Amino acid sequence: MNHEAKTKSQLLHEVETLRQHSAEFDVIAAAHQQAAHTLRLQANLLDAVEQAIIVTDLDGTITYWNRYAERLYGWLASEVVDRNILDITPAAAT
């Protein structure tokens, strides 16, 4: 009888642990959705600016290319993202 009670107690503990993890996951998922919404909003704002906005990482790899940059340079964002900026933009005249 004691063995059955212990097993039931363990199962109840596991269920409670799973509920806690589920609640934590829900909080993380909501934060992720909010962050994704914020990124979409910021990208839309950057696309509305009539200036070429190009974002690169420290190695020069393009991570963002707005619509005005597409018009100015003639490259679609899908063609340049993940490429090196030096391969895409013209060299400065000397």
Q: What is the pLDDT of residues 17-75, one digit of tens each?
A: 999 999 999 999 999 999 999 988 988 888 888 899 999 999 999 999 999 999 999 99
Does residue 56 share a domain with residue 44?
no
Residue 74 confidence (pLDDT): 94
Q: Is the pLDDT of residue 2 over 60?
A: no
Residue 85 confidence (pLDDT): 94
Query: What is the domain count for the chain?
Result: 2
Round to whole Å and give the CA distance between 73 and 90: 9
- What the block records as the tokens of 6 is 């212990």
pTM for the predicted model, two decimal places:
0.57
CATH of residue 57's domain is 3.30.450.20
**Where on the phi/psi map is residue 90: left (φ > 0), alpha (ψ -120 to 50), or beta?**
beta
User: Does 92 or 79 have the greater pLDDT score?
Assistant: 79
